């Protein structure tokens, strides 16, 4: 397994003075340091009194803390305005930006707008310094600002204008499922590992919270008022928000629920551009899914398993019937013949429908592909039974490497016979990594399951792709040595020389890389190109390679 390049607490504090200040205060109060973890694992849920600090991208850090006298709490650590003078400086910079902005052409693309806002911030600060207007006493005092204040104010301006204000740190945290706001000082959330917790986020009073909701509602195109007190919409990142505005309806103050979810999946081309995986890895998965290989995406919590799964579904042939079975509807399928089913966990026992039930039904539904949102229990045995009977299966699974994956599948409660493991063809391993202040996701390994060999006393596997953390590149270890490409797919495709399959892989890698270069990253645009390639080959593409 590739080693993760990550910060230490000391390195993180050196870059982030506000973090050092928080840690010093915590140490003075409790006589200990938080435990710094660049990434979290599911087994942390068993920690009775957590004291875990983790990054979600500079300058934001999260501290989960609880002890014998205090319930666990979700504490956001970010740059904050600390006194009246800083507040006045911040307000002057913000007002200056608002004064300058109408005289500029404002870009629509988010990345361009962020650069525009950076430049506008610098211009506003320079104008205030030159004018001598600022400081606590106004005109009579020079506008003085430290480097630390500059970075603090820049973050807060961008947080409030580009992001979603005080809730932005939670929105960036990949371990969050739901956010619950019930009045100005009651903000809690559901954590993927630590479950429901209160937070230290506050809006001050209900008037400020109501103004905040008005602003958010305007930004998402769903204006809210006493006449229209309840609205639903999507935040810029795709998360769903439900706002209940009026105090005569929401008795404890304005309230909202945010469900972190993206209505439009992230495309495989976008993931390539982010470096999550290489064009060669994606091309390998494209060929594998075209020819009916079973693929599981594995990794720890918040490693990007479902994101990657959704991004590779368009590689399945366009005319395929796809059957999805999930507890929570997260899998997105672009194919028109999509049978989407979810479990029913409430009601009388006899009326409940489990994943096990849905997968048994799938075997009678004659799908070309079965996709399970996540395999956790006995339904895993049915998934392997489906593969045994010729139904390709895709799913996500919690396992950090191939050894742990096999151990979990062959152990209780899944209990797949080890001799059946090779019904699964490919395991892709995702990992959340923290590199130089950035929270990133990487495909760290792609492993082929060759088969069970009695003489070896185990399962033979091949590592075909591996992420190198030093260069941040994916190495094609399986070039001219891929069992799945040469012994499985090349035979199905009718290649006289199995090695020719690599030419096809590199062709598709060039197609995907060209889409990166052309900025074709929208999920539906990428799907249209893949569909056109299936129908007409290279001639069907909207671009030349």
Check whether residue 257 and residue 276 sit in a common domain: no
* The pLDDT of residue 144 is above 90: no
* CB of 202 closer than 8 Å to CB of 165: no
* The pLDDT of residue 133 is above 60: no
CA gap 20, 25 in Å, rounded: 9
pLDDT score for 5:
43
The domain containing residue 391 runs over which residues? 268-537
CATH code where residue 252 lies: 3.30.450.370
Could you read off the pLDDT of 235-244 as tens digits, one per residue? 887 788 999 9
* The pLDDT of residue 83 is above 80: yes
Q: What angle, 0 to 180 degrees and rounded to 10, lies between the N-to-C axes of helices 147-161 and 110-131?
A: 140
Mean pLDDT of the chain: 92
The two counts, helices (H) then strands (E), for the chain are 17, 19
pLDDT score for 170:
96
* The pLDDT of residue 274 is above 50: yes
pLDDT score for 138:
47
Task: Give residue 26's Cα distance to chain centre.
Answer: 30
Check whether residue 385 and residue 477 sit in a common domain: yes
Task: Give residue 397's Cα distance to chain centre.
Answer: 16
Region 17-43 average pLDDT: 95
Check whether residue 106 and residue 193 sit in a common domain: no
pLDDT score for 153:
97
Residue 482 lies in a domain: yes
Dig out the tokens for 480 from the structure: 């001219």
By CB atoms closer than 10 A (0-12, 13-18, 19+), residue 505 is: buried
pLDDT score for 6:
54
First-to-last CA distance in the chain?
34
Residue 358 lies in a domain: yes
Check whether residue 231 and residue 371 sit in a common domain: no
Looking at 210, 234, 263, the residue that finishes a domain is 263
* CB of 191 closer than 8 Å to CB of 175: yes
Residue 79 lies in a domain: no
Region 374-389 average pLDDT: 94
* The pLDDT of residue 131 is above 70: yes
Give the confidence band of 150 by pLDDT, cuts at 50, 70, 90: very high
Check whether residue 118 and residue 17 sit in a common domain: no
Higher pLDDT, 249 or 31: 31
Check whether residue 299 and residue 170 sit in a common domain: no
- pTM to 2 decimals? 0.74
């Amino acid at each position: 397994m590739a080693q993760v390049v990550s910060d230490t607490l000391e390195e993180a504090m050196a870059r982030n003075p506000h973090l050092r200040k928080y840690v010093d205060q915590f140490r003075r109060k409790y006589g200990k340091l938080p435990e710094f973890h660049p990434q979290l694992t599911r087994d942390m849920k068993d920690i009775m009194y957590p004291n875990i600090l983790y990054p979600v991208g500079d300058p934001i850090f999260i501290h989960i803390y609880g002890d014998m006298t205090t319930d666990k709490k979700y504490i956001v650590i970010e740059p904050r305005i600390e006194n009246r003078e800083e507040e006045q400086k911040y307000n002057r910079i913000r007002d200056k930006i608002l004064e300058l902005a109408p005289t500029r052409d404002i870009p629509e693309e988010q990345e361009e707008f962020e650069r525009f806002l950076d430049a506008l911030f610098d211009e506003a600060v320079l104008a205030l310094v030159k004018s001598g207007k600022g400081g606590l006493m106004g005109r009579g005092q020079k506008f003085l600002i430290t480097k630390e204040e500059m970075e603090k104010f820049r973050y807060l301006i961008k947080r409030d204008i580009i992001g979603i204000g005080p809730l932005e740190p939670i929105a960036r945290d990949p371990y969050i499922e739901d956010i619950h706001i019930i009045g100005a000082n009651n903000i809690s959330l559901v954590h993927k590992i630590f479950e429901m917790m209160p937070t230290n986020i506050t809006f001050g009073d209900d008037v400020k919270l109501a103004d905040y909701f008005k602003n958010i509602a305007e930004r998402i195109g769903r204006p809210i008022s006493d006449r229209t007190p309840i609205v639903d919409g999507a935040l810029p990142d795709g998360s769903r928000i439900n706002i209940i505005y009026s105090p005569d309806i929401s008795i404890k103050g304005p309230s909202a629920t945010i469900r972190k979810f993206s209505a439009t999946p992230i495309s495989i081309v976008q993931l390539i551009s982010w470096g999550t995986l290489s064009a060669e890895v994606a091309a390998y998965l494209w060929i594998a899914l075209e020819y009916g290989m079973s693929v599981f995406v594995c990794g720890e919590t918040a490693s990007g398993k479902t994101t990657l799964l959704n991004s590779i579904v368009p590689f399945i042939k366009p005319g395929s019937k796809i059957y999805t079975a999930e507890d929570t509807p997260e899998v997105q399928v672009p194919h028109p013949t999509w049978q989407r089913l979810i479990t029913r966990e409430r009601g009388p026992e006899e009326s409940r429908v489990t994943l096990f039930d849905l997968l048994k039904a799938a075997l009678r539904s004659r799908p070309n592909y079965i996709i399970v949102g996540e395999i956790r229990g006995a339904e895993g045995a049915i998934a392997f039974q489906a593969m045994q009977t010729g139904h390709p299966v895709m799913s996500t699974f919690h396992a950090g490497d191939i050894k742990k994956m096999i151990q979990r599948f062959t152990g209780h409660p899944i209990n797949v016979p080890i001799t059946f493991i090779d019904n699964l063809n490919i395991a892709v391993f995702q990992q959340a990594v923290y590199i130089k202040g950035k929270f990133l996701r990487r495909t760290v390994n792609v492993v082929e399951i060759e088969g069970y060999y009695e003489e070896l006393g185990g399962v033979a596997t091949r590592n075909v792709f591996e992420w190198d953390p030093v260069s941040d590149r994916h190495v094609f270890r399986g070039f001219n040595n891929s069992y799945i490409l040469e012994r499985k797919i090349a035979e199905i495709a009718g290649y006289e020389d199995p090695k020719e399959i690599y030419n096809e892989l590199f062709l598709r890698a060039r197609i995907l890389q060209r889409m990166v270069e052309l900025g074709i990253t929208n999920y539906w645009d990428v799907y249209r190109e893949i569909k056109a390639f299936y129908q007409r080959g290279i001639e069907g593409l909207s671009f030349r390679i």
